[in-house]
Structure 1
Amino acid sequence: MAIKATIYKAQLQIADMDRNVYADHSVTIARHPSETDERMMIRLLAFALNVPADDKQGQLEFAKDLWDVDEPALWHKDYTDAIQHWIDVGQPDDKRLMRAAGRAERVTVISFSSSTPVWWKGIETKLTRAANLVVWQIEAAQSQALARLAERGMQLQLTVQDGTVWMSTGTDSVEITPRRLTVGG
């Protein structure tokens, strides 16, 4: 019998001053048995940093990337099912990213491993045609600190100002400074 996903729930209060997005979201996350707290929290961070201010053009949703190789970690589809924004976390290969760039209006990758510089150096030149791709790096120490906030039921506040992100639980807080690796997008 296959091991099932573990369900996590988060009440997320977002104050993103850089994008003028202020909202509360109730988020349910299905954590794949092979997924770590660190990766799951990066997916939650990706949701918070990319959720649109309203749902007039569709909604940002968690996808099934660990179950289905044709899906990202998150995607924003419009009401015609066209992919507006494809969001991957980790270190996807260049072929996956080029396919995503052809399918979606925008593609974002959030990499969080200490091996990110090696991964990026190996694929950077292969992605020059993907003008709609943006790659971000979260320092490993920051993503590991973020993982320590993971609980089955979470109350999280996320504040973004001048490119710096603070995620807190009320008793613990993590500062995250995403670093953009791409020039285009």
Structure 2
Amino acid sequence: MALKATVFKAHLSLSDMDRHLYQDFSFTLARHPSETDERMMIRLAAFAWHAAERLEFTKGLSADDEPELWRKNYANEIELWIELGQPDEKRLKKACHRAQHVVLYLYGGRGTAVWWKQNQGKLGLHDNLSVIELSENQTLPLTAMVARTMQLTCTISDGQLWISDGNQEVTLDPVLLMGRSARDLQ
């Protein structure tokens, strides 16, 4: 029997000082059986960095031809495609052909340096791709905030994201490896 997704409710109170965006969001997130708590929380952080009216979570790991998040315009063209982890270079190439801009949030500990070294040359051919690295030292503490119902506060300033559940706070300081920063993609 196939395992089913676990459902999480998240309320995100966002204060983005960089874009002067102050808004509350409520989500119902389905965590795929193979998705970790860390990945789910990085999805939430990526949403916060790119929060916009038409930004939405997709089927993610449940669909081969969709990213974790995307923003489409009113003509149903993909303006922003957001990937997580260490995807295959061919997947990113395909995404770059389908979307105006693609952002990869690279995470996964020591393996990220190896992945980046192996893929940097090929990925550099895509001028609409940004690769942003998140440190495992910063992303792993996010898992302590995971609950079936989450009340999260996010503050963004100078590209850094502070996320808190009222008991603990985690700072994410993204490192731009290639392309444009999240702030420049609004």
Q: TM-score range by the shorter chain?
A: over 0.9
Partner of residue 22, structure 2: 22
In structure 1, the residue corresponding to 2:116 is in which secondary structure? helix
In structure 2, the residue corresponding to 1:42 is in which secondary structure? helix
Aligned partners of 1:145, 1:34: CA distance in 2, in Å?
A: 19
- Write the deviation string for residues 153-180 of structure 1: whole angstroms up to 9, x where unpaired: 0000000111221100111111110111
- The TM-score normalised by the length of structure 1 is 0.93
Report the RMSD for the aligned CA atoms in angstroms.
1.2
- Write the deviation string for residues 73-129 of structure 1: whole angstroms up to 9, x where unpaired: 111112221111000010111111111011001100111211111111110100122
2:121 matches 1:131: no
Q: Which runs of 4+ in 1 moved over 2 A?
A: none
Aligned partners of 1:14, 1:121: CA distance in 2, in Å?
A: 34
Looking at secondary structure, tell me which structure has more helix per residue. Answer: 2
2:136 matches 1:140: yes
Offset at 1:132? 0.8
Q: How many residues align?
A: 180
Identity rate, percent: 47
Partner of residue 104, structure 1: 99
Unpaired runs of 5+ in structure 2? Answer: 182-186
Partner of residue 9, structure 1: 9
2:49 matches 1:49: yes
Partner of residue 32, structure 1: 32
2:87 aligned to which of 81, 92, 104: 92
Aligned partners of 2:180, 2:31: CA distance in 1, in Å?
A: 32
| Alignment-mate amino acid for residue 178 of structure 1 | P
Whether the 8 Å CA contact 1:15–1:158 is kept in 2: the answer is yes
In structure 2, the residue corresponding to 1:66 is in which secondary structure? helix
- Write the deviation string for residues 129-152 of structure 1: whole angstroms up to 9, x where unpaired: 211111111100111001111111
In structure 2, the residue corresponding to 1:11 is in which secondary structure? strand
Unpaired runs of 5+ in structure 1? Answer: none
Whether the 8 Å CA contact 1:131–1:184 is kept in 2: the answer is no
Aligned partners of 1:112, 1:142: CA distance in 2, in Å?
A: 10
Partner of residue 184, structure 2: none
Aligned partners of 2:169, 2:60: CA distance in 1, in Å?
A: 28
Aligned partners of 1:2, 1:32: CA distance in 2, in Å?
A: 11
Offset at 1:184? 5.4
Aligned partners of 1:67, 1:8: CA distance in 2, in Å?
A: 16
Aligned partners of 1:90, 1:183: CA distance in 2, in Å?
A: 17
1:113 aligned to which of 108, 132, 139: 108
